[in-house]
Amino acid sequence: MKICVLGAGSWGITLAYYLKNINYQVKIWSRSTTKSKSLNKNKTFNLLHSKVILQTDVKVMSDIKQSLEDAELVILAVPSHALRNTLILSKDYWPKKAVALSAVKGLEMETHLRMSEIFNQIMPNHEFSVISGPSHAEELAKNIPTALVVASKHLKLAKFIQKKLSSNVLRLYTSSDLIGVELGGAFKNVIAIAAGILDGMRYGDNTKAALITRGLYEMTNLGISLGAQSHTFSGLAGMGDLIVTCISRFSRNRLLGEKIASGITVNQALSQMSAVAEGVKTSQSTWLFSKEKHVETPIMNEVYSVLYKKKTIQNAVKDLLSRSLKPENRRLK
């Protein structure tokens, strides 16, 4: 199978490296000519705490037409804010029978659309699937066992991807809940920022466990209101991704929260980040969704207030703990 990876960030490079290891023909597209030349010359990509050494026959290109030529599977691995423009660039060159696999976790800031909704607007005649779950690039690049879920409205496509991409390093499960898998991958980043704030404030394990548990509750209820299935959030794209993003030293969103807790502004924290922390933009979407759907999401709302309303962390924690008392579970039907 011939595969094109659109995006030369940590996840795109790691997926290309993995796919070549299981004997597929792989090309990578990078918007940056300088970056593509550097990667072709040095074959080295620096991750947070390690490096990926690309195989010699993995080509990195800045010409999107050449990158997509003859591809049977196109993996979308650009930041969420870049997906629309990337699809517009690739539309005229997209191979007729190529299917899409999105590895993007996030929502479009201006429209609050999921990646599948953007894809369907621009590429209505092509099949779409998404891969998500606990998946730090640094670990897959080291061949550390990883399990993810691949979802599509067409379960036949999800099973095809599962069969083609699974190995003794990466185990894939399937789902037909495209909405839930996409939302889980986006929402968990907001909770991860809160987890980082807790770490920066030197709170303990009790607090972190409560945050993850109640965060999952909020993610599930908000997801249900938007058309997702509740059980998806107890799986890899929900609980699994939430846990790893809240506890891992590799997590960009958790690290952002920790930086904010140190006393610097959000913009200062973002300027110190070498990669995109999707949770900042997603917090705007979750705040809007919660108002539109009348779903209580106090943790995510407080993250939004800290990021965009200059609310102090101390007041956010105080307001969360002083909310009216209620039963633990009042899940939407």
User: CA–CA separation, 97 vs 80, rounded Å?
Assistant: 24
Phi, psi of 173 (to 5 degrees): -110, 165
* CATH 1.10.1040.10 domain locations along the chain: 179-321
pLDDT for residue 235 is more than 90: yes
Res 175: pLDDT: 98
Output DSSP code: residue 84: H
Amino acid letter, 73:
L
pLDDT digits (tens, 9 = 90+) for 171-215: 999 999 999 999 999 999 999 999 999 999 999 999 999 999 999
* CATH 3.40.50.720 domain locations along the chain: 2-176
Average pLDDT of the chain is 95
User: CA–CA separation, 311 vs 298, rounded Å?
Assistant: 14
pLDDT digits (tens, 9 = 90+) for 134-182: 999 989 999 999 999 999 999 999 999 999 999 999 999 999 999 999 9
User: CA–CA separation, 272 vs 275, rounded Å?
Assistant: 9
User: CA–CA separation, 118 vs 97, rounded Å?
Assistant: 19
Give start and end residues of each alpha helix (H) in the chain: 10-21, 33-42, 64-68, 83-90, 115-122, 137-140, 155-165, 178-200, 205-225, 241-247, 252-261, 266-271, 279-293, 298-308, 313-321
Amino acid letter, 7:
G
Do the bridges between strand 128-132 and strand 146-151 make them parallel or antiparallel, or are there none, so unpaired?
Answer: antiparallel
68 and 90 Cβ atoms separated by less than 8 Å:
yes
The neighbour count for residue 79, using CB atoms within 10 Å, is 17
Q: What is the 3-state secondary structure (H, E, C) of 217-275?
A: HHHHHHHHHCCCCHHHHHCHHHHHHHHHHHHCCCCHHHHHHHHHHCCCCHHHHHHCCCC
- The predicted model gives 53-77 an average pLDDT of 96
User: CA–CA separation, 250 vs 144, rounded Å?
Assistant: 14
pLDDT for residue 333 is more than 80: no
199 and 246 Cβ atoms separated by less than 8 Å:
no
Res 115: pLDDT: 98
Res 332: pLDDT: 60
User: CA–CA separation, 102 vs 132, rounded Å?
Assistant: 9
Distances (CA, A) of 262 to 5, 119, 245, 258: 37, 39, 19, 7
Phi, psi of 96 (to 5 degrees): -55, -40
Q: Return the CATH fold of 2-176.
A: Rossmann fold (3.40.50)
Active site residues: 188
Phi, psi of 218 (to 5 degrees): -65, -45
pTM of the model: 0.95
Residues in the chain, overall count: 333
User: CA–CA separation, 119 vs 181, rounded Å?
Assistant: 16
Q: Under CATH, which number does the domain 179-321 receive? A: 1.10.1040.10
User: CA–CA separation, 280 vs 142, rounded Å?
Assistant: 29
User: CA–CA separation, 191 vs 205, rounded Å?
Assistant: 15
Phi, psi of 129 (to 5 degrees): -145, 165
pLDDT digits (tens, 9 = 90+) for 90-147: 999 999 999 999 999 999 999 999 999 999 999 999 999 999 999 999 899 999 999 9
